[in-house]
């Protein structure tokens, strides 16, 4: 069974600092990995999807990398802003999505 872990569970940084969020998974036979953002009381919003053949994916200030062999993905958010405060979840697709529990980020103004 695929196990997805996100460490740390919570993170607080000052505005302007770069964010580094980690996701690890146990079975490297995946189709893709997706990063989501969830605001309190809201649904999930897809941020980036990385196919298994890709090493990274970028969108604006967000960059996600994937290392299948080591079972790791990292989401980088450059120059963080208070509006980036949310919970970030990664999900691994190996015929179904398995989610991590998320990292809750607080960006202090």
Partner 1 sequence: NAGVTQTPKFRVLKTGQSMTLLCAQDMNHEYMYWYRQDPGMGLRLIHYSVGEGTTAKGEVPDGYNVSRLKKQNFLLGLESAAPSQTSVYFCASVAGDETQYFGPGTRLLVL
| Binding region for partner 1 (CB under 8 A) | 4, 31-32, 34, 36, 41-46, 49, 89, 91, 93, 96-97, 99-102
Q: Give min distance, CB of 46 to partner 1, in A.
A: 5
Using CA atoms, how far apart are residues 98 and 1, in angstroms rounded to an integer? 9
Q: Are 107 and 13 in contact (CB under 8 A)?
A: yes
Q: Give min distance, CB of 96 to partner 1, in A.
A: 6
Q: Are 76 and 62 in contact (CB under 8 A)?
A: yes
Nearest to partner 1 of 71, 100 (CB atom): 100
């Amino acid at each position: 069974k695929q196990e997805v872990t996100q460490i740390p569970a919570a993170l607080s940084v000052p505005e302007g600092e770069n964010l580094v969020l980690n996701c690890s998974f146990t079975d490297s036979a995946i189709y893709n990995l997706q990063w989501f953002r969830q605001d309190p009381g809201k649904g999930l919003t897809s941020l980036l999807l990385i196919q298994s053949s890709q090493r990274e994916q970028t969108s604006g200030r967000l960059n996600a990398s994937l290392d299948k062999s080591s079972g790791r993905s990292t989401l980088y958010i450059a120059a963080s802003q208070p509006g980036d405060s949310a919970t970030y979840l990664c999900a691994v697709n190996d015929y179904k999505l398995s989610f991590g529990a998320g990292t809750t980020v607080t960006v202090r103004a």
